[in-house]
Amino acid sequence: QCVGEFALIDDEPRSATAIATTDVILFRWHKNDFRRALESNATTARGIFRMLTAKLREDLDARPEMHRL
Protein backbone atom coordinates (compact mmCIF):
# COMPACT_ATOMS: atom_id res chain seq x y z
CA GLN A 1 0.00 0.00 0.00
CA CYS A 2 1.26 3.47 -0.84
CA VAL A 3 0.42 6.74 0.87
CA GLY A 4 1.53 10.20 -0.20
CA GLU A 5 2.67 9.26 -3.69
CA PHE A 6 0.52 11.95 -5.34
CA ALA A 7 2.41 14.63 -3.39
CA LEU A 8 5.70 13.27 -4.75
CA ILE A 9 4.41 13.77 -8.28
CA ASP A 10 2.42 17.01 -8.26
CA ASP A 11 4.01 19.12 -5.47
CA GLU A 12 0.66 19.47 -3.69
CA PRO A 13 0.11 18.58 -0.02
CA ARG A 14 -0.55 14.93 0.81
CA SER A 15 -4.14 13.90 0.19
CA ALA A 16 -4.09 11.07 2.72
CA THR A 17 -2.76 10.10 6.11
CA ALA A 18 -2.27 6.55 7.31
CA ILE A 19 -2.13 5.05 10.77
CA ALA A 20 -0.78 1.52 11.07
CA THR A 21 -2.78 -0.87 13.25
CA THR A 22 -0.05 -3.54 13.10
CA ASP A 23 3.71 -3.56 12.76
CA VAL A 24 4.80 -2.38 9.31
CA ILE A 25 7.94 -1.84 7.31
CA LEU A 26 8.03 1.61 5.76
CA PHE A 27 9.93 2.88 2.78
CA ARG A 28 10.32 6.64 2.72
CA TRP A 29 11.18 8.32 -0.53
CA HIS A 30 12.28 11.93 -0.65
CA LYS A 31 10.89 13.84 -3.62
CA ASN A 32 14.21 14.26 -5.44
CA ASP A 33 15.14 10.59 -4.97
CA PHE A 34 11.69 9.53 -6.20
CA ARG A 35 11.97 11.67 -9.31
CA ARG A 36 15.49 10.44 -10.04
CA ALA A 37 14.28 6.84 -9.73
CA LEU A 38 11.46 7.50 -12.22
CA GLU A 39 13.80 9.20 -14.67
CA SER A 40 16.53 6.58 -14.49
CA ASN A 41 14.54 3.35 -14.18
CA ALA A 42 11.73 2.62 -16.63
CA THR A 43 10.69 -0.49 -14.70
CA THR A 44 10.19 1.55 -11.52
CA ALA A 45 8.27 4.21 -13.44
CA ARG A 46 5.96 1.63 -15.04
CA GLY A 47 5.32 0.03 -11.65
CA ILE A 48 4.41 3.36 -10.08
CA PHE A 49 2.11 4.27 -12.97
CA ARG A 50 0.42 0.84 -12.82
CA MET A 51 -0.21 1.32 -9.10
CA LEU A 52 -1.60 4.84 -9.65
CA THR A 53 -3.91 3.81 -12.48
CA ALA A 54 -5.18 0.89 -10.37
CA LYS A 55 -6.06 3.37 -7.61
CA LEU A 56 -7.81 5.66 -10.09
CA ARG A 57 -9.80 2.77 -11.60
CA GLU A 58 -10.81 1.63 -8.12
CA ASP A 59 -12.01 5.16 -7.32
CA LEU A 60 -13.97 5.33 -10.59
CA ASP A 61 -15.58 1.95 -9.96
CA ALA A 62 -16.64 3.10 -6.49
CA ARG A 63 -18.52 6.09 -7.97
CA PRO A 64 -21.50 5.00 -10.07
CA GLU A 65 -21.97 8.50 -11.51
CA MET A 66 -18.42 8.38 -12.94
CA HIS A 67 -18.79 5.20 -15.00
CA ARG A 68 -17.25 5.35 -18.42
CA LEU A 69 -19.41 5.66 -21.51
Between CA 60 and CA 51 the distance in angstroms is 14
Is 68 a residue whose pLDDT tops 80? no
Where b means 16+ CB within 10 Å and e means fewer, 51-65 reads: eeeeeeeeeeeeeee
Which of these ranges, 5-9, 21-25, 27-31, has the smallest mean pLDDT? 5-9
Q: Of the candidates 5, 25, 26, which has an alpha carbon nearest to the alpha carbon of residue 15?
A: 5
- pTM comes to 0.62
Contacts of 51 (CB under 8 A, 6+ apart): 2, 5
The confidence score (pLDDT) of residue 50 equals 93
Whether residue 8 contacts residue 34, with contact meaning beta carbons closer than 8 Å, is answered with yes
